[in-house]
Amino acid sequence: MKERTQSVEAVNPIKVFDRDKWRCQLCNRKTPKAKRGSYDDDAPELDHIVPLSKGGAHSYLNTQCACRACNSKKSDRPLGQMLLIG
């Protein structure tokens, strides 16, 4: 059995979306607040830059805003830019 060693931080998705100005960090598409939780391609979703399945942390540093379309295409591949949050 594989033991998970990545860290877990309480991450508020709205704070991540605000930080990223409600834009997909992969394609720069606007992700309207009103579409949160919908199945629309431009709905905002919390994306793990390095996927949890690949050892990425559930943290502000490893999360970004992604549109539903990009997040679906990305799947469990590490794509995007690590942000340095002060």
In this predicted structure, the answer to whether residue 86 has a pLDDT above a threshold of 50 is no
Structural domains in the chain (count) = 1
Number of alpha carbons in the 13 Å side-chain half-sphere of residue 76: 5
In a domain, 67, yes or no: yes
- Mean pLDDT, residues 46-74 taken together: 95
What pLDDT, on the 0 to 100 scale, is given for residue 85? 43
Could you tell me if 15 and 61 are in contact, meaning their C-beta atoms sit under 8 angstroms apart? no
The model's pTM is 0.81
Residue 34 in any domain: the answer is yes
Does 6 fall in a domain? no
pLDDT band for position 4 (cuts 50, 70, 90): low
Residue 47 maps to a domain:
yes
Q: Is residue 57 part of a domain?
A: yes
- pLDDT confidence tier of residue 8, bands split at 50, 70 and 90: confident
Kindly state whether residue 81 falls inside one of the protein's structural domains: no
What's the confidence (pLDDT) of residue 6?
A: 59
State residue 51's pLDDT score.
92
Q: For residue 67, what are the domain limits?
A: 13-74
Residue 21, pLDDT score: 98
